[in-house]
Amino acid sequence: MAHADLLPGQWQRQVALMEWQPQIVLMAALKVGLIEALLEAPLSPEEAAQKLALDGRATRRVISVLVDAGYLERQGDGVMVAPEARALMDPSDAAFVGDRLLHLHNLFVSWVQLPQVLRGGGPARSERTPESLRAFIGSMRVGARERARPLADRLAELFPGTRTVLDIGGGPGTQALAFQEGGWQATVLDFPEVVDLMADDLAQAGIATIKSDATQGIPARGFDLVYCGNLFHSMSREECAAVVDGAADALRDGGALAIFDFLQGTGLPSSLFAVNMLVATSGGDVYGEGDYRRWCEAAGLRDFAAHEVPGQVQRLLTAVKP
């Protein structure tokens, strides 16, 4: 068997063509502010290096790649962001993907430490800064954009009596916004520093907020629905059980818990995500359907069910408070 055959098909080409390299170059350019500096007007590589206090030789080489990859275009003696890439690179545009790429860059830093993690256990060493938190939350927003409305519609079909929803770990507010647009009153619970980042956007949409650590109990009651999207994978088993307990307490009788997350044994995205949690968290993992069922039943919830969601690798798990 040729070495390339050991790789899943879609990756053979990427590895062969080193397709990851232009992406790393783009991430680095975003991280040092080079892309933002080239959004409005062209600069020569020398001007850009001087403006951002960068090494001139490195800046010239990186700019050549960004031009050849199509992210930048030449204008006279200078370069600037190409019109086709502009919306994706402009932080003020709704299509901005810069935070996503910056978060991926932070993940790469953790992933390349996998050999050390294999020897000594996880997580990898990483730096948590206000910038990395902003990139993480911005990245979650990009991830949630397309699925937020279909998920809200699906939950409205499953639980038509819903009027109030608590979104635990609702961070970027994208899902809560879709709930709110569907006519529900949404409340987002997240860590204080995350709620602070999103406070203006959430208040503008009429979304209530709770600053809290969900593993310490939920300080609110009487919700028709409690939703936890991509939350449990970052926590240990004990923390998951505690959050399901807290969620059950926060529901009215007859209310429902809905969990959207990766499920163990559902293929490559799920096993890769477990490695992601290994390098990025101290206790996170991808859990099995049986784990979620057990936590729900221990919290007194009934009618546990797992649903596939078209177009998503994660599953939707639901249970009802009798």
The binding site for ligand SAM (CB under 6 A) comprises 140, 143-144, 169-171, 175, 189-191, 194, 213-215, 229-231, 234
Shortest CB 189 distance to ligand SAM, Å = 6
The residue (of 63 and 140) whose beta carbon lies closer to ligand SAM is: 140
- Residue closer to ligand SAM, measured from CB, 214 or 279: 214
What are the CA-CA distances from residue 321 to residues 13, 156, 171, 254 (Å)? 49, 17, 25, 5
* Shortest reach from residue 90's CB to ligand SAM, in Å: 22
Q: How far is the CB of 139 from ligand SAM (least distance, A)?
A: 9
Task: State the minimum distance, in angstroms, from the CB of residue 48 to ligand SAM.
Answer: 34
**Which CB, 140 or 225, lies closer to ligand SAM?**
140
Least distance (Å) between residue 39 CB and ligand SAM: 27
Give the residue at shortest CB distance from ligand SAM.
171
Q: Which is nearer to ligand SAM, 59 or 209 (CB)?
A: 209
Whether a cis peptide bond, with omega within 30° of 0, leads into 8 is no
Closest CB to ligand SAM among residues 147, 321 = 147
Name the nearest CA neighbour of 207 among 181, 227, 230, 231.
181
The CB-of-280 to ligand SAM minimum distance in angstroms stands at: 10
Residues 6 or more apart whose Cβ sits within 8 Å of residue 64:
none
Q: What is the 3-state secondary structure (H, E, C) of the chain?
A: CCHHHHCCHHHHHHHHCCCHHHHHHHHHHHHCCHHHHCCCCCECHHHHHHHHCCCHHHHHHHHHHHHHCCCEEEECCEEEECHHHHHHHCCCCCCCCHHHHHHHHHHHHHHCCHHHHHHHCCCCCCCCCHHHHHHHHHHHHHHHHHHHHHHHHHHHHHCCCCCEEEEECCCCCHHHHHHHHCCCEEEEEECHHHHHHHHHHHHHCCCEEEECCHHHCCCCCCEEEEEEECCHHHCCHHHHHHHHHHHHHHEEEEEEEEEEECCCCCCHHHHHHHHHHHHHCCCCCCCCHHHHHHHHHHCCCEEEEEEECCCCCCEEEEEECC
Query: Closer CB to ligand SAM, residue 39 or residue 208?
Result: 208
At its nearest, how many Å lie between ligand SAM and the CB of residue 163? Answer: 20
Identity at 207, one-letter amino acid code: I
Q: In angstroms, what is the minimal distance from the CB of 80 to ligand SAM?
A: 32
Q: How far is the CB of 174 from ligand SAM (least distance, A)?
A: 6
* Shorter beta-carbon distance to ligand SAM: residue 79 or 144: 144
Q: Tell me whether residue 72 or residue 194 sits nearer to ligand SAM (CB atom).
A: 194
Nearer to ligand SAM, 164 or 234 (CB): 234
Q: How far is CA 116 from the centre of its chain?
A: 25
